Amino acid sequence: MASISLRNVKKTYGKNAVVHGLDLDIESGEFIVILGPSGCGKSTLLRMIVGLEEISEGEILIDGTVVNRLEPRQRACAMVFQNYALYPHMTVAENIGYALKVAGVSRSERDRRVREVARALAIEAFLDRKPSALSGGQRQRVAMGRAMIREPRVFLFDEPLSNLDAKLRIAMRAEIRRLHRKLGTTSVFVTHDQNEAMTLADRIVVMNGGKVEQVGTPAEIYHRPATRFVAGFLGSPAMNLMEGEIEPDGTFVQDATRRLRLSQQAGHAFPGGRAVLGVRAEAARLVAPGRPDALPAIVDFIEELGASRIVHVDFDGLSFAVATSDNPALIPGDRVGIEIDPRDIHLYDSATGERLEPVTARQTVHP
């Protein structure tokens, strides 16, 4: 196991900046997931840690040692790639044990360790097969075994589950988490899939445009998004966002039909300012239309998810999602009311996207 520290790490290609002065500390034995949309710099960051990309500025430290100028093989890191990167002419056993063969480890010791790793990954029955005779999930296990046998201090995963079907991805997530608990090796996992991030991570690093938007536990990231970007990126469905203005008396005004009474403190803290109000779908509730404390809306469409459903409603052109486990007899075009739990209201500065302090106040609506 090893700790990792990044100090003002930057990466540029010519005049194009890809990673902008990133600082991050990863504790020994921690499972970190770097989450973000395509092109945000997450895979580039991973490749800089392992040494496949040179950093343009800053320092990367592994267990307190600056590794900027060390070759990948000198950093005691092992990487699992998205495309498996197996040798097609070698058997599973030969693929897993190749690094030991290059290192001059004896045949008997090599065979022992290959079988030990294969047993941990439940692929003992496939040791004599070629990669072409394996399923996608089995190939990914072989790729993980090839990394494990080196007994690295750091595991790096570059979107390793992207090529698998949905059911197999769920199974492999559980397998990766189980292996981490068993081995305790520091792990950095890159993905654009928020479900992978939420289920695997001790902490999530949310990146956007080469910068870190927020670092925190899955619960912290979900329940207290630090920026408007994180609020809109994480969650399925994404957080409902409405842009408007906070009046001095603490009323959030989106338009004539959407006025939410926040706290008097919020009004004083941000008088007359533009803000974005966010509400998770599960924090809203469907009620009968016409109730005094409900926002009037019209059902647009409904997503049936089995045990639950997402009802998408329309506020005069503004889309809003409500998660419910009830099964009301609704069809598109029905009029409904929406009640919002004020404890789960989030506010963000319109200009900077930064989070404003939580609002804990009674909601009133003036239709």
List the chain domain ranges. Answer: 4-230, 239-349
Is the distance from CB of 204 to CB of 218 less than 8 angstroms?
A: yes
3-state secondary structure of 62: strand
Q: How far apart are CA 192 and CA 184, in angstroms?
A: 24
For the chain (367 residues), the mean pLDDT of every run of 10, in chain order, is 94 92 96 94 94 95 94 90 87 92 91 91 91 89 88 90 84 87 92 93 96 96 95 91 80 70 54 81 88 84 88 88 84 89 81 74 39
| The CATH number, out of the four listed (2.40.50.140, 3.40.50.300, 2.102.10.10, 3.30.300.30), of the domain defined by the range 239-349 | 2.40.50.140
Only one residue has tokens 């639950």, namely 308
Alpha carbon distances (Å) from 102 to 106, 116, 123, 142, 351: 10, 19, 23, 18, 56
* Global pTM value: 0.86
The reported pLDDT for the residue numbered 270 is 58
Beta bridge mates, 297: 336
Let me know if domain 4-230 sits in CATH 3.40.50.300: yes
Is the distance from CB of 347 to CB of 359 less than 8 angstroms?
A: yes
Name the residue among 172, 155, 151 with its Cα closest to residue 163.
Answer: 172
Q: How far apart are CA 75 and CA 131, in angstroms?
A: 28
Q: Which long-range contacts (CB under 8 A, 24 or more apart) does 251-259 make?
A: 252/277, 252/347, 254/318, 255/316, 257/295, 257/296, 257/315, 257/316, 257/367, 258/295, 258/315, 258/318, 258/365, 259/364, 259/365, 259/366
Q: Which two tokens stand for residue 283?
A: 């924090």
The reported pLDDT for the residue numbered 267 is 47
Residues near 352 by Cβ (< 8 Å), separated by ≥ 6? none
